[in-house]
A and B are shown apart, each in its own frame.
Chain A
Amino acid sequence: MAYTKRLDGRKNNELRPMEAKASVVPNADGSASFKIGKTWAIAAVYGPREIFPRFLANPKTGIIRCHYSMMPFSGSGERIRPGRSRRAQEISMVMENALNPVVDLRAFPNTVVDIFIELPQTDAGTRCAAISAAAIALADAGIPMTDMVSSIAVGQVDGTVVVDLMYNEEAYPAIVSDVPVAMLHNTKEITLLQMDGEISREDLMKALEMAKDATELVYQEQMRALQEKFTKTE
């Protein structure tokens, strides 16, 4: 039984409804909220500022540091214990790798730009939402950037290649694969690529091809949020 109709009736290349907003945390230097379906990420940027511990300082450039965190009530099962899990630490690291290529902090040596991400509710695709929110927050903070980073998950559910998998698709009782991708808008280069499950090489390339269009839609929503903030008339 092939996966011909998606559980929520979306087309294979259709994303869940998105809603992005810039400047949602007044205390931060830049911030954003990014919702996609029932996954919600809030990102706040602080910096460039002094870095502690000091040995992390790079005299040639500022660095970015990501802190990904799911709120204790944001999982679809039991409460999640607060504190940084191994999963959260790994996601924080791949987020840094995904965002690093576009930020240019050479004008701020020995500093850090901290990016904090909190997720109030989740339904798969959390690292992608976190990256998309973080990129808006960085731009909102006025951090020099050479490109925009937009992220979405693609994958395969029982032989059908789809974009933006939700939890029930990741948990579909068949062969499934989940491929979170982050892409740069101008160059279409990949800055995040992970995969779990099973997928053929052909399907993977097809999925990545679909990610191009999908991340472009994310990009449009990110830009809409930024433009909305900077064209405020009040």
Chain B
Amino acid sequence: MIINQEQIRELAAQGKRLDGRELQEYRSPIKVDLNISWTAEGSSQVQIGETVVMAGVKLSLEKPYNDTPDEGGIMINSELTPLSSSEYESGPPGIKSIELARVIDRGIREAKAIDMKKLCITPGEKAWFVTVDIITINDAGNLFDTAGIAVLAALKTAHYPVVNSETGAINYKEKTDQSLPLTKEPVSVTVYKVNGKFLVDPTIQEEKSADARLTIASDKKGTISAIQKGGDAPLSLEETDAMIQIALEKATYLRKELNKFVN
């Protein structure tokens, strides 16, 4: 329970917000820093308003799974660090962290954004596995969208490390100029329902005042690759459709913002 929940809900009904933004307006600045970590194969720091998230890609060579012997793999993990908010504690990931990582993982995986077959080196024996870690630096709301862009930016900047052709050992200190086989660029947008109105890019207080949310990952063409409904208020078909419409529009906006910083 937060103190100004009622005020936030009343304002929302009038199409207003505490910080004066339009309902469907992102905070500024949206800032993307690339290659913030020399030890990662690819990395980024993304800031939306006061929310700051880092993402880092590590690559490793492993045996493919038995059911997909000619494919590599991807795993997305998130750490909601106690550094980033007094609400997070040290220890194993809680449900909020697990959901965040899984929703972003699905957005990338189900869009087949990475060509898994191209990650394979020797079928049944050796393939590249991609691990992306999301680390929160300051949680001021809307981790879903911020982390989504951070992961995409980190994947886009990633380069394979050099592999010794004789021993097969990876030299993580040297990178090749070859980047990951990224075929699509899914961006996720989370739309919140607050007192009958829809808004994007909530602050922490707005997140806590919302009835429901819908996270929608979509690619350039507007094809949806992952959806997650959150919150316990029901959504009608009409509402769902309207929220998807907003998400697709805002995905174009976020992609444009990201592309100001990437290539």
Residues of A within 8 A of B (CB): 24-28, 38, 40, 42-44, 46, 49, 67, 69, 71-79, 82-84, 114, 116-118, 120-123
Contacts and interface: CB of A to CB of B under 8 A. Distances in A.
Interface of B: 36-41, 43, 50, 52, 54, 56-58, 60, 77, 79, 81-86, 90, 92, 131, 133, 135, 137-140, 170, 172-173
B38 A118 contact: no
B82 A121 contact: no
Contact of B54 (A27, A49, A71, A78): A71
Given A27-B84, A79-B133, 19 more contacts: A24-B137, A25-B52, A25-B137, A27-B140, A38-B38, A40-B37, A46-B82, A71-B56, A72-B58, A72-B77, A72-B79, A73-B56, A73-B133, A75-B39, A76-B172, A77-B172, A82-B79, A116-B81, A121-B38
A96 to B, nearest CB: 15
B133 A72 contact: yes
A79 B79 CA distance: 14
A73 B43 contact: yes
B164 to A, nearest CB: 14
Nearest to A73: B56
A120 B37 contact: yes
B37 A67 contact: no
Contacts of A69: 81
B133 A71 contact: yes
A121 B77 contact: no
CB-CB nearest 3 A-B residue pairs: A73-B56, A116-B83, A73-B40
Contact of A28 (B83, B170, B172): B83
B83 A118 contact: yes
Contact of A120 (B41, B54, B58, B85): B54
Nearest to A115: B83
Contacts of B57: 73
A76 B39 contact: yes
A38 to B, nearest CB: 5
Given A73-B39, A76-B172, A46 B86 contact: yes
Contacts of B54: 71, 120
Contacts of A49: 86
22 contacts: A25-B52, A25-B84, A26-B50, A27-B86, A40-B37, A42-B137, A44-B83, A72-B58, A72-B77, A72-B79, A72-B131, A74-B56, A76-B39, A78-B170, A78-B172, A79-B60, A118-B135, A118-B137, A120-B43, A120-B56, A120-B135, A121-B37
A46 B60 CA distance: 36
A84 B90 contact: yes
Contacts of B92: 83
A123 to B, nearest CB: 8
Contacts of A74: 37, 39-40, 56
A28 B56 CA distance: 23
